[in-house]
Structure 1
Amino acid sequence: MQIDWDVEIPMDDGSVVRADVFRPAGEGRHPVLMSYGPYAKGLPFQDGYPVQWQSLVAAYPEILKGSSGRYANWETADPERWVPLGYICIRVDSRGAGRSPGVIDPFSPREAKDFHDCIEWAAGQPWSNGKIGLAGVSYYAATQWMVAATRPAHLAAICPFEGFSDYYRDACRHGGILNTFMKVWYPQQVENVQHGLGARGHINPNTGVPISGPAELGDEEMRANRVDISALHLHSECITDSYYEGRRANLAAIEVPVLSCGNWGGHGLHLRGNVEGYLGAGSAQKWLELHGLEHWTEFYTDYGVALQKRFFDHFLKGEDNGWDREPPLKLQIRHVDRFVERAEHEWPLARTEWTRLYLDAGQRALQPAPASTASHAAFDGLKGTVSFSTAPFEQDMEVTGPLAATLHISTTARDADLFLTVRAFAPDGKEHLIVGAVDPHAPLAQGWLRASHRKLDPQASKPYRPVHAHETVEVLEPGSVYELQVEIWPLCFVFRKGYRLVLTVGSSDFEHDLPGPHPQIYGKEMRGCSVLLHDHPDDRTAERFAGQTTLHTGGEGHASFLLLPVIPATR
């Protein structure tokens, strides 16, 4: 393997970004797999994220088959596994991060333009066959949707693996409620490797040089070279705010083949975008794969590498390997104790039996028909919940697809934040929690809505997937009853006979009741939502939200219900 360190790629404004190029030794032209992002190309996975690395290789030793792991990098392709397959791996430090100078502005139009230029640069190199594919997880997936929409001439295929496509709805504000993930992520994973740290930062053990550049900048200059992402998110509540301009992928403009790989357990960051990206992409050839396990796992396993290899071999090498005849959907169907792979042809599945379960506040029940008698349930507007349960299922029941809820609420406050959680309980009364993308004990599905953001986008909305406009804030009149349509991110689970489905409606993030001590990330306990929380005190002020929220069910005009995508058993 030939490694070219810190190759400078010129940008249109006279700046440069730097890349490491891993390629087959000797002559020849090869297809390129590229990633572009701010996590520092020179920071080995095992040095930057030792806990995740150790658990990954212990559970899946196949990841080190044929690889020393020394060049493995967080959420990007391991060149020791891909270069022997005839690929060139290029990792680019985005502007302002790692070895690339400039100002860090995540998910900005400037980043998309830089990424576009990197793709075209790679296509013109003497070792490139002119076909560029994009591979990577999370940040390295989200930027793929953005740059593909700019239509670089030599972009041949993209495989966004667990990465959002709608910056506002998927990542920043769930249903209009501020997600504080990036507030804690930014200093830990981006500022920590910002260009200008010099010797104060990490050292690349493969080269002996600082991963964040040789220059050492002062604190004030470092601050000036990065946007204040936390303040920008807090003060940009609506999608029409100037901050979001140019930061949401124009999916319809994407033309290249797409393999979108999402995680069933990725509520809050790593699921909705893969599904919506697949649906919205203008590409004539596109596929959707949905799996489980931890956020990064399947990208590195034999399953994930083989999946990506077939896709890229077909579109970057021109191999007639049958990929173009694959069904559009590959779903890992979640059972209580395993996953079962199944091919499908459309999303939602055409045979879905859309099933309403009506809330009965008096009985705390979910039932097939609306209650004839009106009832209500009240909970604290800042930290309260109420739960509704089905009867034990009389036979196994599969629920796969998007969900939605129609709720009727009133409040004594000016606004209300709603947190919906779909849960499974076994016959012994214990909750069945899953391994989520970023939490080891997560519920099945979640949805969110700020009541003042209740206005729908009628053109984008479906009965099973309401889409809110998020253009204005319409405060509530205390005591008045409002009908709200709430999007719940997709779910896949086969409820065993005797299991119950429970819908919890509350005013704060879900927390399981497992005994501690609980694992932590970024200094926060993982209680079911990891760090994908909505806990900024200035976004959820007592002045705006303190009070009592009341959920109205049954009777005339208050038929609150959960819409489930039930998949009939095959005969």
Structure 2
Amino acid sequence: MKFLKFASVALAVASVFAATHANAESANIPTAREEVVLQNGRIMLYEQNVKVPLRDGSYVYANVYRPKVPGKYPVIMAQGPYGKDVPFQEAYASTWAKTIKSNPAVCAGSSCRFVRWEETDPERWVVDGYVVIAVDVRGSGYSPGYLNVLSVRESRDYYDAIEWAGTRPWSNGKVGLLGISYMAINQWQVAALQPPHLAAIAPWEGASDLYREVFFHGGIESDKFFQIWFNGQILPNQNGNAKTRYRDPGTHEPPTGAPLRDDQLKANRIDPLDEDHEHPLLDAFNEERTPDLARIRTPLLSAGNLSGAGLHGRGNYEGFVLASSPSKKLFVHGGTHDDSFYGKEGIALQHRFFDRYLKGVNNGWESLPPVTMTVRDPAAKPAVDRAESTWPISRIEWKKYHLDAATKQVGEQMPGAPSTATFKAGQGVATFDTTFDTTEEFSGPLAAHLWVSSSTTDADLFVTLQLFDETGKEVTFLGASDEAAPLSQGWLRVSQRKLDEKRSTPAQPWHTHDEIQKLTPGQLYPVDVEIWPTSIVVHPGYKLRVRVEGSDFVRLGADPTQMINRGSGFFLHMDPVDRPAAEFGGETTIATGGDHDSYLVMPFVPAKK
């Protein structure tokens, strides 16, 4: 109730501003209309800031790119908060430079003039007979209103925009969604609402469970990323922010509409961390903004990243498994999401998918395997892709690796005697190693079953899997979360250890996160920690290390003040409101052996017969 009262007051204040803001707005909304000659000589019509009406009488603005030749065309669409009028190359110059270096052909066949952060290049689609639409979410860019990212209302706005696009004179009535991260997360959300004109979705590295994958990890608030993201990427593009560093390339003015004062801007938005503080459990508020994946019935291409712990990973696997789509494919890859999305292979896959379901082209899409996955083998370069029929892989043999605190080892044999390992949160770590003597593959979800006690009434567990080659050098992975990501990671707040017994499996515990069960200091409790899926081939002499600690993983020797190459990227859990030191700075004990068997569940994949 406290949140609802706060939100109501904020919205009421915002509505007062809106009346005066609307009068000045029209003078600050450029409406460019341009014919753009594409590299093959065809003409693309570019229409800036086309008004899209919403069900509550409000509206958002969209940029529309379409063929000049009259006709009815399928639509590719994205809705986001980063600015449809902010060039990727200018707003994120360093990332763009890396993307171009990795994929020199990104601008082959395109001027790249209209490429935006984590959205597709319109020129690549219009040339093939598509309309591309980019929408500023309510409260961002040129779209006026109250900014509430990834909210239920924002999903309903997207529904309305899809229906608008599907009924335009130039539309064939079929709308597809394509985008990375934010523009993938909101695909899951809106697809579950079942807009009639939505015909296909391709969420590229985007969470599908907002509580478990975005705002909280194992019940622990993921705050650092949202501080950096909201302040650095969202607020500069808030509607009315005249101080933004961004510029509309057509007008050289801020692409944020009529200016608002600082107090008006603050009243016209809500910080997602404030929502986290009001809703630390999976309550009705968090349930409502998390999509019911079983309601998704449109054709689905789900692209997940093996090196995306903290945001860009789990959701694509879960979305693929739980969606009711009769036609669905899972594309599992590594590397950055920019490389896979803008690279030659990714673009070809996207076109083949949408050609099938938006144009009706019989291109053999259905004959592709349900799962195409990159198998990460440090000894094999380049990495190879393999076809599978299911996720998780049907032939997986789940292996238990038992922890032994006395020897600091983890192995397939139970420890000889009970023992314990104790560490202070933020200052110590318990490690358990095993060295492989054969080549083996592990691909799929993982879990750690641990017996733990705390010197306080709660504890946070951070579980990290590291791999070292036969020379002792750590095997790391370029990924979406970190440029040197470890093998995998998992998290759990021990007071939120309660399981949904029907949904849980030994390799994937499913926590309800609906109540807090405090600990009796010194008492041992069995807990199950979900570790996000991975894929790896290990060779003789390779060493696996299981780290259990009470704070975020920081690689030995890494600069703790830097966010890259430390192992956890920006996805850190440091909010003193969520993790008061008196409760989460105590000593944690891991018991192993005897009646307290602590173990790791690993997805061993035997070779295909």
Superposition TM-score tier, normalisation by shorter sequence: over 0.9
Counterpart in the other structure of 1:548: 587
Counterpart in the other structure of 2:163: 120
Work out whether 1:374 is the aligned partner of 2:413.
no
Which is worse superposed, 431-440 or 193-202? Answer: 193-202
Letter in 2 for 1:446: Q
The C-alpha deviation readout for 1:413-452, integer Å capped at 9, x for no partner, is 1101000011101112121111121311110100000000
Counterpart in the other structure of 1:475: 518
Q: Is the 8 A contact 1:251 1:280 kept in 2?
A: yes
After TM superposition, give the deviation of residue 379 of structure 1 in Å. 0.4
Counterpart in the other structure of 1:568: 606
3-state secondary structure, aligned to 2:515: coil
The C-alpha deviation readout for 1:44-94, integer Å capped at 9, x for no partner, is 001111100011102211111111221110000111222112211100000
Q: Is the 8 A contact 2:422 2:590 kept in 1?
A: yes
After TM superposition, give the deviation of residue 570 of structure 1 in Å. 3.9
User: Root-mean-square deviation (CA), in Å?
Assistant: 1.4
Counterpart in the other structure of 2:13: none
After TM superposition, give the deviation of residue 292 of structure 1 in Å. 0.5
What is the distance in 2 between the residues matched to 1:540 and 1:565?
32
Q: Is the 8 A contact 2:74 2:358 kept in 1?
A: yes
Mapping 1:388-403, distance limit 5 Å = 388-391=432-435, 393-403=436-446
Counterpart in the other structure of 1:93: 136
Counterpart in the other structure of 2:404: 360
Work out whether 1:52 is the aligned partner of 2:90.
no
Counterpart in the other structure of 1:387: 431
After TM superposition, give the deviation of residue 243 of structure 1 in Å. 3.6
Q: Is the 8 A contact 2:240 2:259 kept in 1?
A: yes
Gaps of 5+ in 1: none
Gaps of 5+ in 2: 1-43
3-state secondary structure, aligned to 1:492: strand
Letter in 1 for 2:520: E
Letter in 1 for 2:248: N
How many percent of aligned residue pairs carry the same amino acid? Answer: 44
The C-alpha deviation readout for 1:258-312, integer Å capped at 9, x for no partner, is 1110100010001111011111111111111110001322110011001111111
Letter in 2 for 1:562: L
What is the distance in 2 between the residues matched to 1:211 and 1:334?
42
Q: Is the 8 A contact 2:207 2:312 kept in 1?
A: yes
Counterpart in the other structure of 1:185: 229
Q: Is the 8 A contact 1:123 1:130 kept in 2?
A: yes
Counterpart in the other structure of 2:271: 228
Work out whether 1:262 is the aligned partner of 2:304.
yes
With the length of structure 2 as denominator, give the TM-score of the two structures.
Answer: 0.90
Mapping 1:156-555, distance limit 5 Å = 156-180=199-223, 181-198=225-242, 200-213=244-257, 215-240=258-283, 242-336=284-378, 337-391=381-435, 393-514=436-557, 520=562, 524=563, 526-555=565-594
Work out whether 1:15 is the aligned partner of 2:41.
no
What is the distance in 2 between the residues matched to 1:16 and 1:565?
48
3-state secondary structure, aligned to 1:246: helix
After TM superposition, give the deviation of residue 208 of structure 1 in Å. 3.7
What is the distance in 1 between the residues matched to 2:252 and 2:104?
28
3-state secondary structure, aligned to 2:474: coil
What is the distance in 1 between the residues matched to 2:94 and 2:583?
40
Query: Per the alignment, do residues 547 and 438 of structure 1 end up closer, same or farther by CA in structure 2, a change over 3 Å counting?
Result: closer
With the length of structure 1 as denominator, give the TM-score of the two structures.
Answer: 0.96
Letter in 2 for 1:559: D
3-state secondary structure, aligned to 2:64: strand
After TM superposition, give the deviation of residue 200 of structure 1 in Å. 4.5
3-state secondary structure, aligned to 1:420: strand
After TM superposition, give the deviation of residue 314 of structure 1 in Å. 0.3
What is the distance in 2 between the residues matched to 1:294 and 1:477?
43
Counterpart in the other structure of 1:61: 104
What is the distance in 2 between the residues matched to 1:376 and 1:513?
23
Q: Is the 8 A contact 2:559 2:566 kept in 1?
A: no
Which is worse superposed, 359-368 or 455-464? Answer: 455-464
After TM superposition, give the deviation of residue 410 of structure 1 in Å. 0.8
The C-alpha deviation readout for 1:222-278, integer Å capped at 9, x for no partner, is 0111112222213321011x5424210111111101111010001000111101111
After TM superposition, give the deviation of residue 496 of structure 1 in Å. 2.1
Q: Is the 8 A contact 1:183 1:229 kept in 2?
A: no
Mapping 1:95-110, distance limit 5 Å = 95-110=138-153
Letter in 2 for 1:104: L
After TM superposition, give the deviation of residue 515 of structure 1 in Å. 5.4
Letter in 2 for 1:426: D
What is the distance in 1 between the residues matched to 2:270 and 2:383?
42
Q: Is the 8 A contact 2:66 2:126 kept in 1?
A: yes
Q: Is the 8 A contact 2:230 2:271 kept in 1?
A: no
3-state secondary structure, aligned to 1:122: helix
Letter in 1 for 2:99: L
After TM superposition, give the deviation of residue 525 of structure 1 in Å. 5.2
Letter in 1 for 2:592: T
What is the distance in 2 between the residues matched to 1:526 and 1:10?
45
What is the distance in 1 between the residues matched to 2:407 and 2:267?
57
After TM superposition, give the deviation of residue 514 of structure 1 in Å. 4.5
Counterpart in the other structure of 1:30: 73
Q: Is the 8 A contact 1:295 1:438 kept in 2?
A: no
Query: Per the alignment, do residues 517 and 279 of structure 1 end up closer, same or farther by CA in structure 2, a change over 3 Å counting?
Result: closer
What is the distance in 1 between the residues matched to 2:560 and 2:494?
35
Q: Is the 8 A contact 1:351 1:567 kept in 2?
A: yes
